[in-house]
Amino acid sequence: MRGGPIRWTWPFMKDVIVVGGGAIGLFCAVRLRQGGARVWLLESGHEHPTYYTPIASAAAAGMIAPISNEPSVHATVALESFDLWRAMRRGAEWEDAVRFDGAVVVRPSQAEAAAFVAKAAQLGRKAQILSAGEFRKRTGFRAKVDHALFVEAEGTADPLRMLTGLGMQAHALGVLRFYDTDVWEVTATTATTHEGKVFEADAVVLAPGVWANDAMIKAAPALKQVRAGKGMLAAVALEAGLGPNLRAGEIYLAQRREDVVLGSTLEFDKFDRKVDRAKIADLHSAAERLLPGEVTLTEQAWAGVRPMSPDGWPMIGPNGEGVLLAAGHSRDGWLMAPITAEIITAYVFDNEIPPEWAALSPERFEQS
Ligand SMILES: Cc1cc2nc3c(=O)[nH]c(=O)nc-3n(C[C@H](O)[C@H](O)[C@H](O)COP(=O)(O)OP(=O)(O)OC[C@H]3O[C@@H](n4cnc5c(N)ncnc54)[C@H](O)[C@@H]3O)c2cc1C
C-alpha cells in the first residue's frame, strides 16, 4: 500500500460469544481467542468456583481417560483430545493442575484384562498386564489383585485448579469475560441477558452444561436430549499417595493435586446436589472389597450434575437456528474439552471438518 495510512487487517477476524464458563466454555473461549477471534465469555456464576458451585466441571473427578471397555466410533477422537491435553498443557497457566500418570485398570478376568490391552494396542497405545506384585508396586496398595493392567494414556486434571487456570489464561489472552451474567435468550448471532443487555457477534457458542433454559432449547433443540446425571464423589485418605488412576468396574480412585477422590454414582434426572451418605457408603464398600482396610473415607463428599447425552458423547456443531452447540459431555467433559474447542473453532472459521468430528454433530440424534 502506498500513500495513505497502514491499516492492519485480520483477514479471519471473527467476533464470537461463548455462553457458559465451565470446562467446555472456557476451553472454547481460550482456543477461539488463540485462533484470532474476539471472544466474549458470558457466565451466570461467579469467577471463583468451589466444589459446591453448581456446575459439573467443579464437582468432577477430572480423570482424562480416553480408553474404556466400551467399543465406540468416537474412540479415536477421545484419544485426539488426550493428545491435545498434553500439547496444550506446556506453558499454560494451568500446567501444574494436570498429571499424566496413566491408569491401573482392574477387570473381572484375565481374558478381559487381555482384551483391554489388545484394544489399547489397536489404538496405538501402550498397555500391559500386571501381576499381583506389579499391581502393588504401581499403586502402593497391599491387596492381592489379579487381572489388572496398566495403561499409559491417561491422566487427571484438578478441576478447581483448572477452572482458575483457564480463567487466568482467558484473561491473559484478552477474552472479554462477564461473570454474574445470566443469558436469557440466544440466536445465531446474539445473546440477551436477563437485564436486557444484548451482545452481538458473528457466532454464538452454547455451552450451558445441563442448565439450558427454555429459550436456549428453542434456539438449539438438541439440548432437549440432555438429561441430568447426578454424581457423587468422596475425598478419601490412603496410606500412601496414589500415582496412576485406579479404575475397577463402577468405582475409581483418582489422585488430584491435593486430594484423592473415590467415585462415583450416577442417577438420571436428578438436579439436586444433596449428598446421600448411604450411596457414599456403597462406594466405600466396593473399595473395601477390592482393597480391604486401605481406603478411609473423610468427611468431605459432594455432588454435581452431569449433562448426559443419549449416547454418552458430546454434541458439537451447528444446531437449530445456527447456534454452535458444545453440550452433553456426559461423564467425559474434562477429557473431551480440548477437542470440543478444536472442533468449535473449525466451525467458526469455516475450516474443513473431518468425518470423525462431524460424527459428533448434534444432528446425529435427529437422524436416528
Ligand atoms: C461427580 C462427577 C464426576 C465426573 N468425573 C469426570 C471425570 O473424571 N472426567 C471427565 O472427563 N468428566 C467428568 N465429569 C463430567 C464433567 O464434569 C462434565 O462433562 C463437564 O464438566 C461438563 O462441562 P460443561 O462446561 O458442559 O458444564 P458445566 O460445568 O455445568 O458448565 C456450564 C456453565 O454454563 C453456565 N450457564 C448455564 N446457563 C447459563 C446462562 N443462562 N447464562 C450464562 N451461563 C450459563 C453455568 O453457570 C456453568 O458455569 C464428572 C462429573 C461429575 C458430576
pLDDT tens figures, 29-45: 999 999 999 999 999 99
Give yes or no for residue 300 having a pLDDT over 80: yes
The pLDDT confidence band at residue 6, using thresholds 50, 70 and 90, is very low
Cα–Cα distances (Å) from 158 to 61, 99, 152, 258, 335, in that order, read 8, 9, 19, 8, 12
E strand or H helix at 217: helix 214-219
304 lines ligand 1 (CB under 6 A): yes
Nearest to 177 by CA among 343, 44, 327: 44
The pTM for the full model equals: 0.96
CATH class of 15-61+160-226+311-367: alpha beta
> Does 7 score more than 70 pLDDT?
no
Strands 323-327 and 203-206: parallel
Which pLDDT score, from 0 to 100, does residue 92 have? 97
Going by pLDDT thresholds of 50, 70 and 90, the confidence category of residue 98 is: very high
Share of the chain above pLDDT 70, in %: 96
- Nearest-angstrom CA–CA distance, 145 and 31: 42
CA of 161 to the centre of ligand 1 (A): 15
pLDDT digits (tens, 9 = 90+) for 161-214: 999 999 999 999 999 999 999 999 999 999 999 999 999 999 999 999 999 999
Give the DSSP letter of residue 305: E
User: Which residue owns the Cα nearest ligand 1 atom 24?
Assistant: 209
The response to whether residue 211 sits with its C-beta less than 6 Å from ligand 1 reads yes
SS3 228: strand
d(CA 171, CA 71) in angstroms, rounded, equals 39
For the chain, the distance separating the N- and C-terminal CA atoms, rounded to the nearest angstrom, is: 54
Mean pLDDT over all residues of the chain? Answer: 94
3-state secondary structure of 354: coil
Residue 225 DSSP code: G
* Mean pLDDT on 2-15: 55
- CA-nearest of 350, 330, 280, 11 to 360 is 330
Nearest CA to ligand 1 atom 12: 332
Strand, helix or coil for residue 218: helix
Give, for 345, the enclosing helix (H) or strand (E): helix 333-348
Q: How much is the pLDDT for 367?
A: 56
Q: Residue 266 contacts by C-beta under 8 Å, 6 or more apart in sequence?
A: 229, 230, 231, 306, 331
| Residue to mutate (ligand 1; options 82, 329, 330; most atoms within 8 A of CB) | 329
- What is residue 128's predicted lDDT score, i.e. its pLDDT? 98
Neighbouring CB atoms inside 10 A of 132's CB total 12
Partners of 319 in beta bridges: 323
Per-domain boundaries in the chain: 15-61+160-226+311-367, 103-152
pLDDT tens digits for range 212-255 = 999 999 999 999 999 999 999 999 999 888 999 999 998 999 99
Q: Does ligand 1 come within 6 angstroms of the Cβ of 159?
A: no
Residue 2 pLDDT? 38
Instruction: Report the DSSP beta bridge partners of residue 129.
Output: 149
Q: Average pLDDT for residues 101-124, to the nearest whole number?
A: 96
Q: Rounded mean pLDDT of 104-116? A: 97
Helix axes 333-348, 23-34, angle to 10 degrees: 40
For residue 223, report the distance from its CA to the centre of ligand 1, in Å. Answer: 14
284 is written with which cell numbers? 466405600
Contact status, residue 20 vs residue 208, Cβ threshold 8 Å = yes
Report CA dihedral (57, 61, 67, 68) to the nearest 10 degrees: -110
pLDDT at residue number 318: 98
User: Looking at residue 10, what is its pLDDT?
Assistant: 52
Confidence (pLDDT) at 4 = 43
Q: Choose the weakest-confidence range: 105-109, 152-156, 364-368.
A: 364-368
**Cβ pair 190, 198 in contact under 8 A:** yes
Least confident window among 237-251, 277-291, 340-354: 237-251
Extract the C-alpha cell encoding 65: 481417560
Q: Which residues of 294-310 are buried (b: 16+ CB within 10 A; e: fewer)?
A: bbebeeebbbbbbbbbe
pLDDT score, position 48: 85
Residue 9 has pLDDT above 70, yes or no: no
- CA distances to 32, 43, 119, 202, 215 from 64, rounded to whole Å, are 22, 24, 17, 32, 32
Q: What is the pLDDT of residue 1?
A: 35
